[in-house]
Chains A and B, each alone.
Chain A
């Protein structure tokens, strides 16, 4: 619908440091059952991939930043990183 260029991004959302992550802890506890040792600090988050049409890459990233901070993550408990995809 727009003839603006399309940019593909990923937003990686993870629990903030210090926030209890029961999913990560459950994963970590299961590792001995697989016979795996030496793994720690497991944190489970989510990854959202999306396409944005905008005038340029910077404008597209602005949209993603807003989306990531207002909707895709809750800054009280999560942090996010925006990753540009090819």
Chain B
């Protein structure tokens, strides 16, 4: 069954076409969801793409957080539906408190656009289930505010509960700490992507959707997009997603 996966489109989103392309390659049907819409058009998965939503004014992602579509996305997330935010989409989810932590200005102050190496931490989640074995994945980053930050207690809890899904890796395959060459932005503990406590909402700064075909330089991102597609299909068929847990009250 082909899953219908919504792509949230804000004024300033610019990776939506890449996201749609990646979803098609992954076997899903992309459905554009306009930022002023409160109707999710029956999708069973959501991808919030990269870009500069609302110009990234004030803080990256914060204005987008208050758009009508995000209320619907929050309800969808609360009900257990799979949601993946990429780059600016991760920033939107963090500002909306749908995933823990915040994205600060890159430690080097510059916008960084280059390929990174990414280590998936768990392979049984809605966003990594199709990745295959645990090996470094090559894909690009392109952002100015990608330095993952949370206080120590939150970081410890994330690591304990399996909330860290991806970390930046050094060329030798070790996790890239804030000052290591493999870490493009100074992210604490090398964290490139996390998920919420329930496990059904995740965000990452690198761009798997632009690494889905060999002709693009890497197809290492396809496993992540395919994971979302498979999770959306599962959610459509069964009303739940493997690798998530229901929480009392449904809070993130």
A-to-B contact residues, CB < 8 Å? 19-20, 22-23, 26, 71-72, 74, 76-77
Residues of B within 8 A of A19 (CB): 104, 149
Residues B106 and A22 in contact, CB atoms below 8 Å apart: yes
B93-111 near A? 1/0 per residue, CB < 8 Å = 0010000011011111100
Could you tell me if A74 and B102 are in contact, using CB atoms closer than 8 angstroms? yes
CB distance from B95 to the nearest CB of A (A): 7
CA distance A67 to B151 in the complex (A): 24
Category for how many chain B residues contact A: 10 to 19
Chain A residues contacting B147 (CB-CB under 8 Å) are: 20
**B 174-194 contacts with A by CB, 8 A:** 186
* B104 contact from A26, A71, A72, A77, Cβ within 8 A: A77
Question: A76-B150, A77-B102 known; A20 and B107 CB under 8 Å?
Answer: yes
B149 and A76 contact, CB distance less than 8 A: yes
Q: Is the pair B59, A76 in contact by a Cβ cutoff of 8 Å?
A: no
Chain A residue numbers with a CB within 8 Å of B150 are 76
Complex Cα–Cα for A23 and B109 (A): 7
Contact present for B62 and A71 (CB under 8 Å): yes
Are B62 and A20 interface neighbours, CB within 8 A?
A: no
Would you give the shortest CB distance from B40 to chain A, in whole angstroms? 24
Which residue of chain A has its CB nearest to the CB of B108? Answer: A22
User: Which of chain A's residues has its CB closest to B65's CB?
Assistant: A71
Q: Which residues of B contact A22 (CB under 8 A)?
A: 105-109, 186
Nearest B residue to A26, CB-CB: B109
Bound-state CA distance A74–B149 (Å) is 12
